[in-house]
Chains A and B, each alone.
Chain A
Amino acid sequence: MIRLEKRPQPSRAWSWATPLLAVALTLLAGGLMFAALGKDPVAALRTIFLDPLFDPQFAAYSRPQLLVKAGPLILIAVGLSLGFRAGVWNIGAEGQYIVGALCGAGAGLALYPLEAWWIFPMMVLAGAAGGFLWAMIPAILRIRFNTNEILVSLLLVYVAENLLASMAVGRLRNPEGGGFPGSRNLAQWSSSANPELIPGTGMHWGVAAAFIAVILAYVLLQRHLMGFHIRLAGQAPRAARFAGVRPAVLVAFCLGVSGALAGLAGIFEVTGPSGQISIDFNVGYGFTAIIVAFLGRLHPVGILFAGLLLALTYIGGELASFMLNIPAAAIQAFQGMLLFFLLAVDVLTNYRIRRGRTVTP
């Protein structure tokens, strides 16, 4: 009989091996699903994982796109991971991403058509501030009234979406757009544009910010007292209180940082790849980043790889979808499997499998 036995210490080896095992299981189950849909599973998996990187037709374009897609995911996920480690659950990064983009874009558009070097940096700061303030709503409510930040931050996403729609058809609408919804194109106004830093690499300021965030988060967690408090609060809340961790500060810090980073992702996206505020500007980065954070074991470097991997499944998934005629829903299910298997095999980190006699209850 097989049974699970709790490990005295979570296994370090398994905590690194489970993501790989989860990917392997996803490949297997995904392959079976594609086969069940009547598609060649090998071709499907090859199109998803290898074609964006190596296919002579697509790779030159797809490789830089990996960074474009992974940039906001990594930036948001790094922020979320701090809170998740400390037991502060910001589920509303999508809303902070939207509000960051709105604040940054609004700050810039107020000055249109002025040309000045400081406009873009100012917009970036406004974007970070927007995300920060939006995240402060659940933070303050939790600190003052002990409300559940999961619910508050999540529900604020829907508020943000309605704010976005109203801005796209109202205050931020392009006055020269013939009454159609959507703001001016920020990528085409040189003072607000966030172009590729080196042409053909996909590397824009948002991607650079993501890499910087990874490094700073790593330093914070390893070398800084705040990082120690975050880890302690997650692992041993009681001990944390004795060690002088002030929960209010921790909540405000974690929500604030993750909100500001989500806001940054929003402003870099709206000034670069996306180009404008539109009704459907947000495409789910804030939610996908939650998967990225867990897939990366809440570790900055892990998140870097997880972000790139998920970006690969998006870009490869698109290729598979139109080249092999695989339904978009199947691609989404495939991505969902990744999180599912990760959580499922996670049990191996904290438990070990033992074969032994059946214990009769």
Chain B
Amino acid sequence: MLRRTLLGAAASALALATGAMAQDSDKTKVGFVYVGPIGDGGWTYEHDKARQAVEAEFGDTVETVYQESVPEGADAERVMTQMALSGADLIFSTSFGFMDPTMNVAAKFPDVKFEHATGYKTADNVSNYSARFYEGRAVQGLIAGEMTETNKIGYIASFPIPEVIRGINAAWLAAKKVNPDVEFNIVWAYTWFDPAKEADAAKALIEQGADVILQHTDSTAPQAAAAEAGNVITFGQASDMSEYAPKPRVSSIIDNWAPYYIDRVRAVQEGTWESQSVWQGIGEGMVGIGEISDAVPEDVRADALDLKERLASGETHPFTGPINRQDGTPWLAEGETADDETLLGMDFFVEGLTGEIPN
């Protein structure tokens, strides 16, 4: 409301507008750059929910601005530059593809702080942050492994990048542990969001006998395909997708960015912001496990919640040896856990998974 009045003034006189901006400068201005539309129901939707949480938390002391559907590359660089020029103090760029543009803009605006999601570069005024979604994948793998009757699990993968490969491996290891007969059938969709393609992939997997569908794509199309097919279960991705509960959607991984965003905005306000590189999981609350629905038998639910607790406390690591790579060479020895560096660059399947990572 306040912003609209300010801009109404801006319309009548440019001088007035500049005055209004200057007056506004005691507020912390926080910019958000989104790769998709805020109504995508998944990735961007959750980032925008966190933005709203920042507004709710700080009230009049912050002003947030956002730009949706920003293409990765030169356009992202321009959007961030314009945000910085408009007086932003802190900018969240919420897609991997914004990494180099973020670094370029940050170099030009040393006084503005930048937070880049899911990348690996940092600078004095650039932090990066990401979530250990693979912890959530392990919980899904366990539920999938215990509930499947055909022992065939379909997996709709997006792109053959470490983030996705890590998720497949984590789900596989957890499923295999509870069900040695389980098989994974992986389809590479080469998209993050394409309802038609995702629906086709889900249908193909179901026809091949899968009665569980895991997805690393953001639309609800696989849920719809599973609902149509009948006895198939699915998991929400990025967002809860609870409209498909209690079945086919039996649980979900929810990206919960709000605590981190609130934390970082406060750090800017208090002048304690420092560049960092964080990777948070279930324990810190960045990865949420959506409600496990009634379609899941009581003992499976108990196992899943137990695993979730152990992951949160750090007692269990999804990648604990002995684990071999797909080609049979040893990766982790008995009791050894994976280091973050290997996980971040993971480009191999673990033993037992069939199929190749496309190149």
Contacts and interface: CB of A to CB of B under 8 A. Distances in A.
Contact of A273 (B74, B97, B162): B74
B79 A318 contact: yes
In the complex, which range does the number of interface residues on chain A fall in? 35 or more
B22 to A, nearest CB: 11
Given A275-B100, A280-B97, A318 B78 contact: yes
B46 to A, nearest CB: 18
Interface in B74-96: 74-75, 77-79, 81-83, 85-86, 96
Contact of A178 (B21, B83, B344): B344
A254 B77 CA distance: 34
Given A170-B359, A179-B161, A318-B78, A325 B345 contact: no
B347 interface: yes
A57 interface: yes
Nearest to B11: A43
In the complex, which range does the number of interface residues on chain B fall in? 35 or more
A39 B72 CA distance: 28
A201 interface: no
Interface stretch (A13-21, A61-69, A214-222): A61-69
Interface string A308-334: 000000010011011111011100000
B303 to A, nearest CB: 32
A329 B77 contact: no
A322 B11 contact: no
Contact of B37 (A69, A269, A279, A329): A329
B111 interface: no
A328 B67 contact: yes
Given A169-B160, A185-B100, A179 B347 contact: yes
Interface string A128-172: 000000000000000000000000000000000010011001110
Nearest to B160: A169
Given A318-B67, A321-B68, A169 B161 contact: yes
A169 to B, nearest CB: 5
A273 B344 contact: no
A274 B85 CA distance: 20
Contacts of A56: 14, 18
A104 interface: no
A5 interface: no
Nearest to A168: B159
B158 to A, nearest CB: 9
Interface string A281-317: 1011000000000000000000000000000000100
Interface in B148-173: 159-162
Given A278-B72, A322-B82, A180 B11 contact: no
Interface string B123-155: 000000000000000000000000000000000
B330 interface: no
Q: Which 3 pairs from chain A and chain B are nearest by CB?
A: A273-B74, A43-B11, A283-B71
Interface of A: 38-40, 42-43, 46, 55-58, 61-62, 65, 68-69, 162, 165-166, 169-171, 178-182, 185, 269, 272-276, 278-281, 283-284, 315, 318-319, 321-325, 327-329
